């Protein structure tokens, strides 16, 4: 039984930490980005919620805003060889992206679940 009376922020935070947006106890993901079909704790159906490109968009936005000030501050007066800069920027970008992508997907699933607009699949 869906109970969407909680605040949107709570559903978003639960999604961010990879928990069911309804109860906050069950896991949201069965894999890196694959949501579980139903919450193991409360039975809420989550597998039919499609976040589409929203999480990728939010991840690019955040990673860009986190790394852009560093790049703008370092590149004009770069004291290091280019390969050193690349050896720092590329892993930082990949790491931030891989950390943030499932969290952003959880946030979007939380928003979609809380709004009740879960699509035509259900």
Any contact of residue 59 with Zn ion (CB under 5 A)?
A: no
Q: Map residue 64 onto helix, strand or coil.
A: helix
- Comparing CB distances to Zn ion, the nearer of 1 and 72 is 1
Any contact of residue 62 with Zn ion (CB under 5 A)?
A: no
Of residues 25, 23, 45, the one with CA closest to residue 35: 45
d(CA 14, CA 77): 42
Residues of span 12-51 touching Zn ion by CB under 5 A: 20, 22-23, 26, 39, 41-42, 44
Interface contacts to Zn ion, rule CB under 5 A: 20, 22-23, 26, 39, 41-42, 44
């Amino acid at each position: 039984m869906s109970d969407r009376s909680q605040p949107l922020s709570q559903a978003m935070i639960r999604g961010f930490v990879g928990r069911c947006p309804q109860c906050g106890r069950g896991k949201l993901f069965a894999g890196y980005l694959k949501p579980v079909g139903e919450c193991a704790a409360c039975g809420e159906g989550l597998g039919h919620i499609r976040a589409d490109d929203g999480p990728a968009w939010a991840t690019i936005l955040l990673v860009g805003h986190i790394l852009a000030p560093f790049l703008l501050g370092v590149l004009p007066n770069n004291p290091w060889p280019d390969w050193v800069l690349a050896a720092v920027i590329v892993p930082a970008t990949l790491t931030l992206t891989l950390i943030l992508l499932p969290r952003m997907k959880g946030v979007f699933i939380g928003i979609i679940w809380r709004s009740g607009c879960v699509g035509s699949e259900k």
